[in-house]
Amino acid sequence: MLHPPPLGLYIHIPWCVRKCPYCDFNSHAANDSVSEQAYVSALLADLDQDLPLAAGRTVETIFIGGGTPSLFSALSIDELLEGVAQRLALAPDIEITLEANPGTAESARFEGYRAAGVNRLSIGVQSFDEAHLQRLGRIHGREEAINAAYMAREAGFENFNLDLMFGLPDQTTEQALVDIETALSLKPTHLSFYQLTLEPNTLFHKYPPPLPGDEAIWEIQGACQRLLVEHGYAQYEVSAYAQAGRRCRHNLNYWQFGDYLGIGAGAHGKLTDPITGRIARRWKVRHPTLFLEHAGRPASIGGHDFVEPAELPVEFLMNHLRLREGFPEAAYAERTGLDNQTLQPGLNECIEAGLIERCDGRIRCTETGWNFLDNVLERFLGS
């Protein structure tokens, strides 16, 4: 029997106040017909259906994402987490994250989430610039974003993340630095800082706004990264910065090729069979109406497949190499069941090209390799 990797639980709440023009997540504008009680019951029925996949295992992290989970009342989140705890073994030091939108932030609601067991908030700020927030279609303004961070502290959240985007329409380096400086003044423990991209099936993709050019993007990213490092936020992943000891454990599990259950409309899961080592993925139907209708029954499963051995090297590397520290060489065989020799052709080529390095028993990207990760991964296709 193999020792499976750590297990997380992802819970998807698909509704938001309105769909942002850049968003390609499975999110839907809420209306009066949305029933929190019905959806919580559906989530728990969905979990009941997945329980055999997690038999005998302990959940290390929970992430409630969306959509906008903070649309749901603290009472509903409490009922949800209580139901999860009744069904699964939870680690004593479990990390439980809930995504929140500043436009739905309320002191009493944040306090209720904390009382329900949520111990980490991720607040979707995106920018503190009023004009940029309007261009992005956000429902909050600068003051609401700042107040949401203060409310998180007052509600007892010692650990919270702020989401920021860069490369916004017509954004200058000076404007991006003001966003970072404002975020730093709020003293979050973690910052997600990532580039706005035009994803298919979004309004921005159909009607592209004027984004900064490649040179301007590079300048913005470099200047902001330097400022974050100066203030004690270490970049441990391509778009993640954290104070010491405050890295997001749930996301780390993804990047380290760990396992996770996924419940809710459109949620994805990945599980390793402890007997065979075979890795399976499955996902739920995307539309909330269909999910609510079929939750807990086979019809709620949107699809499933297995990660074939030929796909494992790239699957493993596309996650691990996002991390600044890379991975211990032994982790490859432990997570994939493959011999390290299956990595060698691509690995040797990358080392010779200065894209990957071996250091103290670890394999990691060089600075050049990290900045051109797609080029690195191409060299492992067919390994």
Please say whether the dihedral angle defined by the alpha carbons of residues 117, 119, 124 and 128, taken in this order, is positive or negative: positive
Q: Which domains does the chain have, with CATH numbers?
A: 7-253 (3.20.20.70), 310-378 (1.10.10.10)
Q: What is the pLDDT along the chain (383 residues), one digit of tens a residue?
A: 467 899 999 999 999 888 899 988 888 888 877 799 999 999 999 999 999 999 999 999 999 999 999 999 999 999 999 999 999 999 999 999 999 999 888 889 999 999 999 999 999 999 999 999 999 999 999 999 999 999 999 999 999 999 999 999 999 999 999 999 999 999 999 999 999 999 998 999 999 999 999 999 999 999 999 999 999 999 999 999 999 999 999 999 999 999 999 999 999 999 999 888 899 999 999 999 999 999 999 999 999 999 998 899 999 999 999 999 999 999 999 888 888 888 988 999 999 999 999 988 999 999 999 888 988 988 888 65
Find the helix or strand (DSSP H, E) in which 350 lies.
helix 344-352
Find the helix or strand (DSSP H, E) in which 29 lies.
strand 28-29
Long-range contacts of 233-236, Cβ-Cβ distance < 8 Å, separation of 24 or more: 233/191, 234/324, 235/324, 236/323, 236/324, 236/325
Token duo for residue 174? 């000076």
Q: Give the CA dihedral 283, 285, 286, 291, nearest 10 degrees.
A: -130
Length of the chain: 383
Q: Model pTM?
A: 0.96
* Cα distances (angstroms) measured from residue 252 to each of 69, 168, 229, 327: 21, 27, 20, 12
For tokens 């902001």, the residue is 224
pLDDT the model gives residue 232: 97
pLDDT the model gives residue 2: 64
Q: Compute the half-sphere exposure of residue 274: CA atoms within 13 Å on the CB side of its CA.
A: 12
- Under 8 Å between Cβ of 292 and 270: no
pLDDT the model gives residue 383: 53
pLDDT the model gives residue 267: 98
d(CA 320, CA 240): 14
d(CA 38, CA 22): 29
pLDDT the model gives residue 215: 95
- Under 8 Å between Cβ of 162 and 128: no
- DSSP E strand boundaries for 170-238: 190-195, 234-237
d(CA 77, CA 113): 7
d(CA 331, CA 340): 10
Task: Fill in the amino acid letter for 128.
Answer: F
Task: Fill in the amino acid letter for 229.
Answer: V
- Under 8 Å between Cβ of 26 and 15: no
Task: Fill in the amino acid letter for 204.
Answer: F
Strand partners, 122: 99, 161
pLDDT the model gives residue 3: 77
Find the helix or strand (DSSP H, E) in which 222 lies.
helix 214-230
Strand partners, 166: 195
- Chain Cα centroid distance, residue 272: 20
